[in-house]
Chains A and B, each alone.
Chain A
Amino acid sequence: MSSENQPTAAMDSLLQALQVNIIPNQEYLLQGSILDTQVQRLLHRLKGLCDNVETAPEQFFDYEVCFSLRAPMNEQTLQMQQAPPPLLLRVRRSNDPADSHMPFQLRYIGNPELGDAKRPTLVRASFDISCSPSIIDFLTEMGCRMEFEYTVKGYLFRKGRMKITVSKIFKAMNMNQEPLSQSYLVELSVLAPSGSDAVAEDMRVFAEKLKPLVILEKIDYKRLATVPYD
C-alpha cells in the first residue's frame, strides 16, 4: 500500500481489486429458446416477473463481431500436434443511432468451468470492457481474425442482479434482415465477482418460474461443436 497522496500504479490497484473479489469476472449463464409465435407470451410473463415493471421492456438492437487470436506455434505446441485454443474476443455496438455516443463493448469469454455438474448454471470467465470505436481496427492490426458477425435485436429485462434477454439473431449487414431461425434466444445471466455462487441458486429459481414456456438450461458447447452442420 502506498502513502496517502501517492497515486498507485493502475495495474497494482487493479490486481488488488481482483484479490478482494470486487471485479465482476464470472458469468453465470442459462440459455433456452422459444418459437416466434410464442414469444409474446414469454415477454408478457417476464414483464410481470421483472423489476422494470412500469417502463416497457428495454429494447436493443446490436451488432456483434467475434475475433479470434491464435497464439504463435512454439516447440511445445508443435510437439502436441495441436494448436492451443484461440482466444475469442467479441465486440458489440448498438445499431441504434440514438446510442451513437455510447462506447463499444469488448468482451472476453473463457471456457466453461469444468466439474460443475452440480452447479445449477454454467459458469465461465468473462470480462466486459467499454472501449472507443477504434477497437475493431485495433484488434485487426493486432493480428486477430474475424470469425463471424451478426446483428441481434430484442428485449432486456432486469430482476435484481439478473439480466434476462429475449433476442432474435439476424445475419449481419443485410438490409432485409434475414433471421437465422424461427425462434428467439432467451438468456438469463449474471456477471459477478468470483465466489458469488449464491446467485446461481436465484437463477435456478427464476428459470423454474418460466417453465414450461421456455426451458432454460446449461448448454454444453462442446457437445454442440460435434453436431455436423453445413
Chain B
Amino acid sequence: MGVTILVPYPLEKKTGPEVIEDLAKRLLAMQATPAGQFLVDGDIFDNPTMNKTKIHVMHNSEYPASVFSILDNGQKQIPLITDLIFDLLMLKVSPTYQSKKSLKIESKGPRYELGDFLIKLGSVTMSQNQNFKGILIEVDYRPCLVPALCWDLMREFMQGFLGQHAPTTVPAYFTTNIPMNPVQHFQRYNDTYQPIDTVQQYLEHFNNFRKQTQAPMMMTPRN
C-alpha cells in the first residue's frame, strides 16, 4: 500500500479497448511487467424515507478481505472498513436500504508493475448491461505513505507515462480542507495515506460517471 493517484483518461475518438491497448503497449515499452487483473466495484444503497442518505458499498481486489463503505448524508461522509460478511448484513437491511442495481459501477482491467510503481488500467462499466463509461488509470507508488513527500516524483512518472494527459496539479481530493471538528481542519496531502483514500477517490470518479448520461466521446481529464 502506498500513495495512489487516480486519473481519468480521455478516449479521443478511440474505443475503450483500443486506448487500453495503447497504454499497455506504452507500459511494456517502459519495461513494466504484467501482474494480473484488478477489480474495483461500487454499489449504492438508499433509503426511500431518508432521501439524502446513501450508503456506498465498495470492494477493491487489492484488499480482498475488506468491504469499504461510505455513508453520505449530503453534508458529510463517514467511511467504514469491515470484513466481507458486511455484505451479508446489507442484504438483511433490505427493507430499509435497497441496492440500486442500475447504478452499480465497476472498474476493471490489467495491472502492471514497474519498479515500486503499480499501474492499473481500468475500464469503467455501469449497471448489469455493462455500459462502457470511460477509463480510469490508477498509479500507486507503494513505498511512500505521505502524498506531500512523493507528489513531485509521481507527477514526473505520470508525465512520462501519460504525457499531456497527466495531471499537473495535486488532485483536489488531497487539498480540500476537511473539518475534523469546528475549529480544526486538515488536508489529506500531509496525512498518512490509507486504503480508504483509494476507495474514496474511486467513489468521486464513479459519481462523476454516474452523473454523465451519454456515452463519453471527448472527455477531458478533471484536474
* B157 interface residue per 8 A CB criterion: no
A142 engages B85 (CB within 8 Å)? no
Does A132 have its Cβ within 8 Å of any Cβ on chain B?
yes
CB–CB B78/A87 < 8 A: no
The answer to whether B48 touches A137, judged by C-beta atoms less than 8 angstroms apart, is no
A143–B96 contact, CB under 8 A? yes
Which B residue's beta carbon lies closest to that of A18?
B88
In this complex, the member of B43, B55, B95 whose beta carbon has the largest number of chain A beta carbons within 10 angstroms is B95
Which of A3-11, A43-51, A93-101, A192-200 lies on the face that meets chain B?
A: A3-11
Q: A10-B59, A127-B88 are known contacts. Are A87 and B67 too (CB-CB below 8 A)?
A: no
Determine the residue in chain B with the shortest Cβ distance to A108. B89
CB distance from B78 to the nearest CB of A (A): 5
Decide yes or no: A9 and B59 within 8 Å by CB, A72-B49, A142-B53 being known contacts.
Answer: yes
Segment 12-66 of A: residues with Cβ below 8 Å from B: 14, 18, 23, 25
Cα distance A142–B78 when bound, in Å?
A: 10
Chain B contact-residue range equals: 35 or more
SS class of chain A's interface: helix, strand, loop or mixed? mixed
Q: Are A130 and B93 in contact (CB under 8 A)?
A: no
With A5-B37, A71-B96, A141-B53: A129-B81 Cβ-Cβ less than 8 Å: no
Complex CA distance for A134 and B55, rounded to whole angstroms: 14
Q: A69-B93, A72-B47, A72-B49 are in contact. Are A138 and B80 (CB under 8 A)?
A: yes
Q: Pick the contact of B37: A7, A134, A138 (CB < 8 A).
A: A7
Answer yes or no: B18 CB below 8 A from chain A CBs: no
B residues less than 8 Å from A143 (CB atoms): 47, 50, 53, 96
Q: Which of B61, B79, B93 contacts A134 (CB 8 A)?
A: B79
Q: Kindly state the separation between the CA atoms of A106 and B37 in the bound complex, as whole angstroms.
A: 32
Q: Which of A23, A69, A70, A132 is within 8 Å of B81, CB to CB? A: A132
In whole Å, how far is B168's beta carbon from the nearest beta carbon of chain A? 32
Interface residue A131 (Cβ < 8 Å from any Cβ of B): yes
Task: Let me know if B80 and A141 touch, CB within 8 A.
Answer: no
Residues in A neighbouring B86, C-beta threshold 8 A: 106, 129, 131
Residues of B within 8 A of A23 (CB): 85, 88
Is B36 in the interface zone, CB < 8 Å from A? yes
Specify which of B37, B71, B81 is in contact with A142 (CB 8 Å cutoff).
Answer: B71
Q: Mark B20-45, 1 if CB is under 8 A from A, else 0.
A: 00000000000000001111010100
Task: Choose among B36, B37, B82, B97 the residue with the greatest number of A CB atoms under 10 Å from its CB.
Answer: B82
Known contacts A5-B37, A10-B67, A138-B71; A87 and B84 CB within 8 A of each other: no
Binding site for B on A (CB under 8 A): 5-11, 14, 18, 23, 25, 69-72, 84, 87, 89, 106, 108, 127-132, 134-135, 137-138, 141-143
28 contacts between A and B (CB under 8 A): A5-B36, A6-B37, A7-B61, A9-B39, A9-B106, A10-B84, A10-B87, A11-B43, A11-B59, A18-B88, A69-B96, A71-B96, A72-B48, A72-B49, A72-B95, A87-B96, A129-B85, A129-B89, A131-B80, A131-B83, A132-B79, A132-B81, A134-B78, A134-B80, A135-B80, A135-B82, A141-B73, A143-B96
Besides A9-B59, A87-B93, 8 new A-B residue pairs in contact (Cβ under 8 A), listed by A number: A10-B84, A23-B85, A69-B96, A72-B48, A127-B88, A132-B80, A142-B71, A142-B97
> 9 tightest CB-CB pairs across the interface, nearest first?
A71-B95, A10-B59, A131-B82, A7-B61, A132-B81, A72-B49, A7-B39, A138-B80, A130-B83
Q: B residues touching A (Cβ–Cβ < 8 Å)?
A: 36-39, 41, 43, 47-50, 53, 55, 59, 61, 64, 67, 69, 71, 73, 78-89, 92-93, 95-97, 106, 108
